């Protein structure tokens, strides 16, 4: 019976050709799908990259405008220019006798500013980070080569 099946299979070579052709077509379809996905992803990445470049150029232009406006503002607010404008608007320099202090009943002044103490470099040297993140390469090598401490286990 086994011999007969083998013989029947050999008598119909179109089946093996059909099998080879279907595998080839399936492989080609899979490769086309993978290629299409690859192209879709690359197109999206290229589009995103282009938008990043556009945003970077817009950012550079905005930074240039900010620098220009800052320079213009600095020029307009120089003490000489401000004094000149104040005189044009009718203001004059104050004399000592012109100053008048007004006491307002019920006014509570704000607490005076007390600057915070600088951090003590001896107490928090590592900034609260784990030693795994603050260990230098030299410390790590010496720890590994030192048999007395946490070295090789």
> What is the per-residue pLDDT across 116-141, written as a single tens digit (0 to 9) for each?
888 765 555 556 677 677 788 888 89
Give the residue extent of every domain in the chain.
1-93
Degrees, nearest 5: CA angle 106-107-110: 145
Residue 14: pLDDT above 90? no
CA distances to 129, 140, 153 from 150, rounded to whole Å, are 20, 10, 8
- Summarised one tens digit per residue, pLDDT across range 54-88 is 999 999 999 999 999 999 999 999 999 999 999 99
Q: Which tokens go with 104? A: 């307002």
Predicted pLDDT of residue 151: 44
- Summarised one tens digit per residue, pLDDT across range 83-103 is 999 999 999 999 999 899 899
pTM over 0.75: no
Structural element, H or E, at residue 116: none
Q: Which tokens go with 58? A: 């817009």
The residue behind tokens 């990043």 is: 52
Q: How far apart are CA 142 and CA 136, in angstroms?
A: 10
């Amino acid at each position: 019976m086994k011999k007969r099946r083998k013989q029947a299979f050999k008598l119909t070579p179109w089946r093996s050709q059909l099998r080879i052709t279907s595998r080839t077509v399936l492989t080609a379809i899979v490769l086309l799908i993978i290629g299409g996905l690859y192209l879709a992803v690359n197109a999206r990445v290229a589009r995103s990259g282009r938008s990043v470049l556009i945003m970077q150029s817009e950012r550079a232009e905005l930074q240039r405008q900010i620098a220009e406006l800052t320079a213009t503002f600095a020029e307009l607010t120089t003490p000489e220019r401000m004094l000149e404008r104040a005189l044009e608007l009718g203001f004059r320099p104050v004399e000592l006798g012109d100053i008048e202090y007004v006491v307002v009943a019920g006014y509570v002044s704000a607490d005076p500013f007390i600057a915070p103490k600088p951090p003590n470099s001896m107490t928090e040297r590592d900034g609260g980070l784990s030693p795994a993140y603050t260990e230098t390469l030299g410390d790590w090598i010496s720890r590994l080569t030192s048999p007395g401490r946490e070295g090789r286990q």
